[in-house]
A and B are shown apart, each in its own frame.
Chain A
Amino acid sequence: MSRNPQLDSSGRLAHLLSIEGLPRETLVHVLDTARSFVSVTERDIKKVPLLRGKSVFNLFFEPSTRTRTTFEIAAKRLSADVINLNVGSSSQSKGETLLDTIANLSAMHADMFVVRHSQSGAPNLIARHVGPNIHVINAGDGRHAHPTQALLDMFTIRHYKHDFPGLRVAIVGDILHSRVARSQIHALTTLGVAEVRVIAPATLLPAAVTRLGVQVFTDMAKGLKDVDVVIMLRLQNERMSGELLPSAQEYFKNYGLSPEKLAHADSQAIVMHPGPMNRGVEIDSSVADGTQSVILPQVTFGIAVRMAVMSILAGQS
């Protein structure tokens, strides 16, 4: 019952389903490997032959152009063949079950599945049913996890802050519905930062969240005091329509990152956002485009981190 679903029988990483359950050494190994891939993305020929002949299937049951494109670029830079399946428009709507879809694709010699799904645990179910030497990467499942996003966020933090001990990190926004926040919390606590703070109104906080190793703040000024890293989460439109929050305006007033609020943080604090941003809702444009913002570099690092994840997994066959 407690076998780690991400590890194969020899204890090597076979799938990337969540940050939770991965030891610190594995996270650091991904970050170190990603650093080498950054230098690949900076030269003229941005390709290496590691995944030549391998087929990577992007299975996006929940649409997302950004994330899917990043994975596609990463896979192609590893010389893999990429097939994109927007499953909403094909077999799923014909009533084919999730596992039947996987079985059919496996029969087409897929080596790797990158899966995004609206239900928590869907990639875990897939990983339980794929053959040996087929790897599953979770590109985001329901509210559960978005491990590659957390890894690129950690890479970004390490790039600008050099190491994790001693850092105070604040995550602001809809923690309740956020798979990104959960993965970031697990990564930050595993890598040993000094403090992880979540800042949100009570309607956007999940039960027992302190058990994940975070401190809860409902007052943003207090929560941001002296922090070194501010991570802003996207607030989706449907959350602002009255049941959880009265309006976007009131949310921005209390929980949006304005220059005044940012001033509570350390003067050298970096501002991050997993994207896409809702300017004027969770973050002011002047902050998003300001000197402390590292939001664009996050995107570049995202490709290198995903190349690292794919090549580490594919090398475990």
Chain B
Amino acid sequence: MTTPFPDTEKLLNTLIEGIRGNIKPDTGIIGIHTGGVWVAERLHAALGSKVPMGTIDIAFYRDDYGRRGLHGDVKPSDIPFDVNDRDIILVDDVLYTGRTIRAAMNELFDYGRPGCVMLAALVDRGGRQLPIEPRFVGAQVSVPDEELVSLRRDDSGALHLSTEPRPTAHDQS
């Protein structure tokens, strides 16, 4: 059973306005598959960025590979610009334990040495297990541990956040 969230489009706007004005013309925006890529696409379009958008799939950098193996559909990572000395905004949909961001940064640093890395998250639900902090956030929302927060994209491209009970297998966020 899903519970509706604060209006997702409103959160997106909050995030976009938070970033606007704090971004240089050559800043690179990189979305983390899959929800982070959807959010990044909206940010990239709204901010009118001239630098093409990048995508990262963290499958090869997860810290639970030893337990879960390669999970599901691995998509290619694609960063179509030079990372060296550039400001990067890493974008994810839901920030939780921080492990996804850790994996994404490890992968990002295999592409080069960024000038700085900022984190943009549509939702920060707390529950950090690593010392990771977002620079830009749509909203901070408290969610019980037994629930998952996920992002959906409907046919018209609109984004919707919702919660649902956590499945029995432990999930990394």
Q: Identify the A interface with B (CB < 8 A).
A: 12, 32-33, 35-36, 38-40, 43-45, 47-50, 311-312, 314-317
With a CB–CB cut-off of 8 A, which chain A residues contact B69?
12, 312, 314-317
With a CB–CB cut-off of 8 A, which chain A residues contact B77?
36, 39-40
Q: What's the least CB distance linking B84 to chain A, in Å?
A: 10
Known contacts A45-B110, A45-B111, A315-B68; is-contact A32 B61 (Cβ 8 Å): no
With a CB–CB cut-off of 8 A, which chain B residues contact A311?
60, 70
- Number of B interface residues, CB 8 Å? 21
Instruction: Other than A12-B69, A49-B60, give 11 A-B pairs with Cβ distance below 8 A.
Output: A39-B78, A43-B110, A43-B111, A44-B110, A44-B111, A48-B110, A49-B106, A314-B69, A315-B68, A315-B70, A317-B66
Q: Identify the B interface with A (CB < 8 A).
A: 57, 59-61, 65-66, 68-70, 73-79, 106-107, 110-112
For the complex of A and B, the 6 pairs showing the least CB-CB separation, nearest first, are: A315-B69, A48-B60, A45-B110, A39-B76, A36-B74, A36-B76
| A-B contacts, CB under 8 A, total | 51
Name the one of A35, A48, A316 contacting B76, with C-beta atoms under 8 angstroms: A35
Q: Which residue of A lies closest to B78 (CB)?
A: A39
Known contacts A35-B76, A36-B76, A39-B77; is-contact A49 B70 (Cβ 8 Å): no
Known contacts A33-B70, A40-B60; is-contact A47 B110 (Cβ 8 Å): yes
Q: Which residue of A lies closest to B77 (CB)?
A: A39
Contact between B59 and A36 (Cβ–Cβ < 8 Å)? yes
Q: What's the least CB distance linking B90 to chain A, in Å?
A: 17
Bound-complex Cα distance A45 to B76 (A): 15
With a CB–CB cut-off of 8 A, which chain A residues contact B65?
50, 315
Bound-complex Cα distance A32 to B75 (A): 8
Bound-complex Cα distance A32 to B76 (A): 9
With a CB–CB cut-off of 8 A, which chain B residues contact A317?
66, 69
Bound-complex Cα distance A33 to B112 (A): 23
Bound-complex Cα distance A317 to B65 (A): 10
